Structure formats: structure tokens, C-alpha cells
Amino acid sequence: MDKKQAQERIIELRNLTEYHAKRYYDDDDPEISDFEYDMLMVELRNLEKEYPEFIDKDSLTQKVGGKVKEGFKKVEHEVPLQSLQDVFNFEDVEDFCIKVEEQAVKNNIESLKFVVETKIDGLSSALEYKQGKFVRGATRGNGQVGEDVTENLKTVKTIPMELKEKIDITVRGEVFISKADFEKLNNEREKKGEELFANSRNAAAGSLRQLDSNITKSRPLDIYIFNVQKIEGKEFNSHFEELEYLDKLGFNVNPVRIPCKNVDEVIKAIKKIGEERESLTFGIDGAVVKVDNLHLREILGTTAKTPKWAVAYKYPPEKKETTLKDIVCNVGRTGVITPMAILEPVQVAGSTISKTTLHNEDFIKDKDLKIGDTVVIQKAGDVIPEVVEAVIDKRTGEEKEFNMPKVCPVCGAPAVREEGEAAIRCTGIECPAKLYRNLVHFVSREAMNIDGLGENIIGQLLDNGLISNIADIYALKFEDIASLKKNGTKFAQNLVDSIEASKSNELYRLITALGIRHVGSKASKTLAKKFKTIDNLAKADFETLSQIDDIGPIVANSIREFFMQEQTKDLIEKLKQAGVNTVDDSEENEDNRFEGMTFVLTGTLQNFTRGEATDIIENFGGKTSSSVSKKTTYVIAGEEAGSKLDKAEKLGVRVISEEEFENMIK
């Protein structure tokens, strides 16, 4: 590889690692395994080492990945939450230990020790205590600045709200979900037809980084503390001593911590953890080797990204061969049809694997998988089994091609794959597999807004056989609803009233509630104003639809396909018979003061919800957008405005306060 080729590959690797780091840290939705990402980082690090003139401060070899999610307050860490240097063989572990020993000898430190700990697979967080009371918690973020997730961390039962001593201390820990809880969580999601979490790390990270702490509370989060970041009024000589003190304070401390005197004991400890990792109740993605002597740590120092007194040994994923016996399709609550591999049972990383997801049509084609193939299986992140590849050399010629179904295997409605998407979806609105999700959407605030008919009540109505399609909501009887709750008379009356009131909703709410692909409340308002009745909309042709502002050909096609379905026609007829309004009789607002203007809302408004502000803007002929561009007319900034405010200032877009907006609409 010449210098030019090296530079091109370095740029390519930086783009790849940035993309996958964003998927992992910011979106909690990785596309590749941890091992594949690690290998990209190793290649990048080696190339930058060979060609130091191409090292850039923005490379992920020089900084920590991750950024603050919009909606959270920023927390600046007094002590940075650094990442660790990864190593993948025992030679690199030996090199690390030898360098540490050389520094110990050079500085006359005789009591050199190491501590080997499990590298827990979760989300790193800092917990801050004042006088022994928990006052703030934050995610790692980019190491310097994280997200304030205090309220969410308060829902984690193993985090003490008050310590056994009145002390000022900041500690670092890893929020995770245990193997058993993760399996249970995914089983529950599978039963509900919801998308499965890829691994426990992403489940934990996604659960902790929720803007609604009630969602976090519903997830089985746990934490292990593994470091003292800062402490007032106490001094320690060793890391192991710190961990024992944290135990006494009442923290849930990492239970696997092995003291070692030399490199041989370090490698022995790493091997021991590797052998026992399957018996651990929590997932790990490696073993961490740390210098125990805190004074020596100060001497060794840190880089901008990693400490020089610790490394993380990464275990290679275990792989096994088995037979792909069949491929069957499941229909999730959103209508996505997912192919599932049925395997000859095989033991991988301590678990018996008999089935696993094949994600989508493209995944099967990319891997060139056929029914009857010998395939290689591994456990991604030690939790979710995945098909790595087909063993082409072992094909006999009797293997069968697999094709995704053209109709939904549950209800028989057409199954479609839209341009730009990997998923194939059932289009039937009355499909039993989608019923729960469709009901939840139908009654939601932005749709029919049936107050009191939440997810739990919908679940009970389905379980008790009281509803079997969306229109059945309007046939519910007072006594049926009252039977769902102890002393449920008042609740039943309120819900009956709310259901009755929803019959008079504006037409756009019904269109939104139908859940047509790509049609949200904004497009629904446009369609209601244009066609005036649900029947007119149902009869509209593709050409007419595609020429409407904010609709376009993709949305137009989705609308046409939806209204051509027999299931759609059946539902609309039932809703009409139930007395649900299907007509828009609102008068056109002649005041179009915002015509030609585009508004972006950011932060929290005091006197309006975002929906109310959006309605006002649209009633005056304006538009709202979720992103800031040069075409944006105004950005309305509420409290704790996020990155949209920064972008508006950079682009020179005018930013107005809520008070200024109120003056504009008087």
C-alpha cells in the first residue's frame, strides 16, 4: 500500500467508524457486531501509526464516540469518563504489563499489582453524591460532556439513594440488563410483535436514554460500580482498596475483580474469566486489566482518549456450524414480515440455539442463504445468535432457494416492499398480527384522542375477547369496561364518554388514525382540506394525489394501495355505521398571515404544546418542519433549546421567543 492508498483507506475507515459509532452510541441500533467494529478500529489505528502524518484529532482513535441526545441537559464531567485501549491477544497484554513494570522500577515502586475485572457490556454512567445523597447521574457521552439522566437512574433499584456515610463522592459504573432479564424482555417483545433488541447493551442504553423516565422504570436495569472518579476527605493507595470501600458504602460493585502480582497471573485471570463467562449472570465484552497502585497510575498518565494504566482484552466470538432446516416468516405489530431461521439445535457460547432472526430479504441474499445449507452461527454481543455465513463447500445441490411471501402469512393482504426500505410489510389494517399496534395508534392523542384507552386497557380488552378489530371500540358497553377494574364505574363512564366524543372528531384525525404509511397528522390535514370526505379520498387517483403539496408520488402510492384494500373498505364502512365522522365541514381560514413561511420548534414551550403551536401555524397558512435549513423562516426557541438553535444561528435563520410568537398570532 503506497502513501496515497493509505490516506484514502484512512479516510474511508474514519467515515466507517464514525457511522458505526453513531449507530452504536447515539442511536443504540448497531448494524455490525462489536468484533467487526473493533477490527475496523484496529486497522485504522495501525495505519495511523504507520502514517502519523495523517493522524487527525477528530479520528475516533483520538477521541471518545458519542454525543448528547437532544432533550437532555448537558453535564460536564469534572473527571473525564475515558474509554479503554482494546487488545486482542496475550502478546499485547504482555507488552502492556512490561511497560508498566518498567515505569514501576524507574520510579522505585516495589508493590506492583494489577486488578483484572470483567468488562461489563452496558452503558457507562457517572453517579454524584453530596453528603451521601444521590444528586445527579449522567451518561458518558463523549467522555467530557454527557447527558443528565438523574431521574432515569433513580428508577434503577440497585443504585442507593443514600450512602452509609455522609461523603461527597462521584463514582463510575456500567448500567446493564442481566442475561435472564434480557431474554425475558425480548420474549415479551416477540409476543407483542415488537422489534427485538439486538443485544443487552443496546437494550440498556436505549432504556436509560429515554426522555420519559416511566419507560426506563419499566425496563429491568441494573448497575455495577467499578471506579471512584472523585472523592472528598479520603485517600486511597490502591484501586482494590477503593472497590472494597465502595462495597461498604452500599454500592453494587463489580463482583469479578481478581488481584494479580505479575503478567502470568494477569493472563491466567483473563483465561479464567473467559472460561466462566457463560456462567455469569450478566453479559461481558472483555476483561479489563488495571494497574492497582494509584500513585503509579498518576505517573503513567493518560492520552486524550484512554488511560495508559489500563487495557481491555476482547474475547473472540465463538462460532459453530449447524444446518439451516427452514425459514419461516413472522408478522410483527408494525406489519413488518421478518424471516426466521429454524436451525438444527447447536450449543454456542453456553446456550442451545434453535432459531434466530434473518432480519430481511437483503440479509438472506447478501449471505446467499438457502434452506438446507450448513451455516456458521455466532452470538453477537454474547446474547443474540446470528447467522454469519453459509458454508458453500458443503452444499449438496439439494438446498432450496427462499423467497419472501407476496401476501401476509397471517391475513392474506398484499405484502409490499417500498422503495428505499429493506422491510416487507403487511398492508392489511385488520390483520390480527397488527391489531394491538393499530389500536394503540388509532386511539392515541394525535389520532382519535380517546382518553383512558391506553396500552394496558387495550391489552385487557383483547385478552378478554371484548374487541377483535378497530371498529369494536365503538361497540364497547359500559359493563364490559367496568369489569376491567376494581370499582371501575367512574373509569368506565369516563371512557364511554371519551369514545362517544371521538365520533365527532375532525376528519384529519380519522385519516391519521388509519395509520396509512407515510401519512402523519400534517399530511392528514392537507388531505382532509383537499377532499372533504373519506369517500372522496378513497376514490382519489394517483395523479391527483401526487400533485398535492406535501404528498408526492411515494405517499400517493401508499394512499392508493391502502384504500384499494378490502380490509380498509370494510373498516371504514363499520366506522360509518358506528357514527364516526367522515366529513370535513370546517370553513377555510381567510387569514393566511404565515403563507410561504416555514417554522421549526425547539425546546419546551410554556403556553403551548408542540401540537397546538403547529396547528396555529398551519391554520394561518404556514408550515412546520423538524429540521433547520436556509429555507426556514423562523425558529421558535423554548426553554432548553437544543442543536436546532445552534444550527439556526450558524445559518443566520431568525430565532424568536415564545412571547414573540404569541405577538405574531394576536
How many CB atoms sit inside 10 A of residue 109's CB?
A: 16
Among the residues of 108-177, which ranges form H helices?
150-153
CATH number of the structural domain 74-186+195-313: 3.30.470.30
Judge residue 358's burial from the number of C-beta atoms within 10 Å of its C-beta, 0-12 exposed, 13-18 middle, 19 or more buried: buried
Superfamily of domain 319-394: Nucleic acid-binding proteins (2.40.50.140)
Cross-strand partners of 351: 348
Give the chain's residues under pLDDT 70: 24-35, 63-71, 193, 198, 349-351, 380-384, 587-589
Superfamily of domain 3-54: Helix hairpin bin (1.10.287.610)
Distance of alpha carbon 313 from the chain centroid: 26
- Tell me the one-letter amino acid at 433: A
Q: DSSP letters along 373-424, please?
A: -EEEEEEETTTEEEEEEE-GGG--S--B-----SB-TTT--BEE--TT-S-E
Closest CA to 140 of 152, 132, 148, 130: 148
Distance CA 536, CA 389 (A): 51
How many CB atoms sit inside 10 A of residue 532's CB?
A: 16
Q: DSSP letters along 171-200, please?
A: EEEEEE--HHHHHHHHHHHHHTTPPPPSSH
Distance of alpha carbon 219 from the chain centroid: 13
How many CB atoms sit inside 10 A of residue 375's CB?
A: 23
Interval 61-77: pLDDT, tens: 776 555 555 668 889 99
Distance CA 13, CA 22 (A): 14
CA angle 260, 283, 172 (to 5 degrees): 65
User: Which DSSP helix (H) or strand (E) runs through 456?
Assistant: helix 455-463
Distance CA 475, CA 38 (A): 56
Alpha-carbon separation of residue 372 from 328, 346, 377 (angstroms): 13, 15, 14
Alpha-carbon separation of residue 46 from 9, 13, 39 (angstroms): 12, 11, 11
Distance CA 636, CA 657 (A): 6
Distance CA 314, CA 226 (A): 18
The residues of the chain that CATH labels 3.40.50.10190 are: 598-665
* 3-state SS track over 30-46: CCCCHHHHHHHHHHHHH
Distance CA 138, CA 171 (A): 11
* pLDDT at residue 609 in the model: 83
Q: Rounded to two decimals, what is the model's pTM?
A: 0.54
Where does 499-610 show beta strands of DSSP type E?
598-602
DSSP 154: T
Cross-strand partners of 655: 635
**Cell, residue 455:** 396500552
Per CATH, which fold does 426-578 belong to?
DNA polymerase; domain 1 (1.10.150)
Judge residue 189's burial from the number of C-beta atoms within 10 Å of its C-beta, 0-12 exposed, 13-18 middle, 19 or more buried: middle
CA dihedral 224, 228, 234, 240 (to 10 degrees): 70
Residue 339 in 3-state DSSP? strand
- Tell me the one-letter amino acid at 556: A
The residues of the chain that CATH labels 1.10.150.20 are: 426-578
Q: How large is the angle between the packed helices 3-21 and 34-50, nearest 10 degrees? A: 150
The residues of the chain that CATH labels 2.40.50.140 are: 319-394
Distance CA 456, CA 341 (A): 32
113, 119, 179, 644: which is the annotated catalytic residue? 119
Per CATH, which fold does 598-665 belong to?
Rossmann fold (3.40.50)
For 78: left if phi > 0, alpha if psi spans -120 to 50, otherwise beta; the answer is alpha
User: Which DSSP helix (H) or strand (E) runs through 264?
Assistant: helix 263-276
Distance CA 367, CA 375 (A): 10
How do beta strands 114-120 and 257-260 pair?
antiparallel
User: Could you confirm whether 529 is annotated as catalytic?
Assistant: no
CA dihedral 389, 394, 399, 401 (to 10 degrees): 30
**Contact of 199 with 381, CB cutoff 8 Å:** yes
> What b/e readout covers 579-595, taking b as 16+ CB neighbours within 10 angstroms?
ebbbebeeeeeeeeebe
